[in-house]
């Protein structure tokens, strides 16, 4: 893998980014260290985490993933300078009262304090990419299908959020800023306000992108392309749906240790919808028909898309990490891409 410039920045990142939200819940610290070591050894220099992690979120594990990364850095002298580090400040409370007391609004002081806390846990002086984890306004996200104007309420403005992020950039605590789980409107408005007021410009957007959720392909891709904002999508395997692990027995197999099977909360989310599983089974069967594993086809779909700067992968073992990295060189034929699009025409994006 050759390094690339992330968006309009001078940050040089690998086209595969290691997501870490399993560290501290599904993945214990020694295994996390081994995964991180192997990833760097194989050329990955881009790491993504969040104050909210690990997942599924619990009060007891809030900040646990950042703390694991911080201890890894402290035990690997010089490693922090070798990687590009991204983390996220949680948006307004989504049923998590342990995050800022369940505050319904992400205020400037929250952003400043959260960044300081992340720096301490990560045992670093600077965060390369600091992202807002989800919108601080009434906006559809995490499986909500429609915008509902009846849900409007007072919230800290995009301008004030950017002012707070600008303070962090000026203080040298943050190099660049990004968004996550955003809409086309949100991305365009963050860029507009930044340019109008001389505030930090959004560098990246981190939204889901996979065969069962291609919402990026319908509007957000044009916005990001025209505004020069880089896409660093997560869940290219659809929370495991696109590995084939759920094809035979669904989510209720007690022997399956995948997230959707293991955590009841996950079954209630977009990835656990019966329609998402049905769609995944069709894509997985298509992969096998073309001599590919479902994992390899799903990852190659993201890796080779012009929309994607760096794909965020999440793993729970060295074997999964190696499988995901080994898929980097896979090319999908025009015929296979056409067959993928045909399935989407019939079933659209069930995990949106």
Active site residues: 53
Sign of the Cα torsion 96, 258, 310, 171 reads: positive
- The DSSP bridge partners found for residue 176 are 129
- Reported residue count of the chain is 352
Whether omega before 59 lies within 30 degrees of 0, making that bond cis, reads no
Nearest alpha-carbon partner for 80 in 109, 123, 136: 123
Q: Whole-angstrom Cα distance, residue 44 to residue 83?
A: 8
HEC sequence for the chain = CCCEECCCCCCEECCEEEECCCECCCECHHHHHHHHHHHHHCCCCEEECCCCCCCCCCHHHCCHHHHHHHHHHHCCCCHHHHCEEEEEECCCCCCCCCCHHHCCCCCHHHHHHHHHHHHHHHCCCCEEEEEECCCCCCCCCCCCCCCCHHHCCCCCCHHHHHHHHHHHHHCCCEEEEEEECCCHHHHHHHHHHHHHHCCCCEEEEECECECCECHHHCCHHHHHHHHCCEECCECCCHHHHHHCCCCCCCCCCCCCCCHHHHCHHHHCCHHHCHHHHHHHHHHHHHHHHCCCCHHHHHHHHHHCCCCECCEEEECCCHHHHHHHHHHHHCCCCHHHHHHHHHHHHHHCCCCC
By DSSP bridging, strand 16-19 and strand 46-48 are parallel
């Amino acid at each position: 893998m050759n390094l690339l410039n992330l968006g309009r920045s001078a940050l040089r990142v690998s086209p595969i980014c290691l997501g870490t939200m399993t560290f501290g819940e599904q993945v214990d610290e020694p295994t996390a260290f081994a995964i991180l070591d192997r990833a760097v050894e194989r050329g990955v220099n881009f790491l993504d985490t969040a104050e909210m992690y690990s997942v599924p979120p619990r009060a007891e594990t809030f900040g646990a993933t950042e703390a694991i990364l911080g201890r890894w850095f402290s035990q690997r002298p010089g490693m922090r300078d070798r990687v590009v580090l991204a983390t996220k400040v949680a948006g307004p409370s989504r049923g998590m009262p342990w995050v800022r007391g369940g505050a319904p609004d992400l205020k400037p002081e929250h952003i400043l304090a959260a960044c300081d806390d992340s720096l301490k846990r990560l045992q670093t002086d600077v965060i390369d990419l600091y992202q807002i984890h989800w919108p601080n306004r009434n906006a559809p996200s995490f499986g909500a299908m429609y915008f509902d104007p009846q849900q409007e309420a007072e919230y800290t403005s995009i301008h004030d959020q950017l002012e707070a992020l600008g303070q962090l950039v000026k203080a040298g605590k943050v190099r660049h800023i990004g968004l996550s789980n955003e809409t086309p409107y949100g991305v365009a408005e963050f860029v507009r306000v930044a340019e109008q007021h001389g505030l930090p410009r959004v560098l990246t957007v981190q939204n889901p992108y996979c065969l069962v959720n291609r919402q990026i392909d319908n509007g957000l891709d044009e916005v990001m392309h025209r505004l020069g904002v880089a896409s660093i999508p997560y869940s290219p395997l659809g929370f495991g749906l696109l590995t084939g692990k759920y094809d035979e027995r669904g989510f209720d197999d007690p022997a399956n240790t995948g997230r959707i099977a293991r955590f009841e909360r996950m079954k209630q989310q977009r990835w656990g919808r019966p329609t998402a599983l049905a769609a995944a089974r069709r894509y997985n069967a298509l992969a096998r028909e073309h001599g590919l594993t479902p994992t390899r086809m799903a990852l190659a779909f993201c890796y080779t898309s012009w929309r994607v700067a760096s794909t965020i992968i999440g793993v729970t073992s060295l074997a999964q990490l190696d499988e995901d990295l080994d898929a980097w060189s896979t090319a999908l034929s025009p015929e296979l891409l056409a067959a993928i699009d045909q399935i989407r025409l019939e079933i659209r994006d069930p995990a949106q």
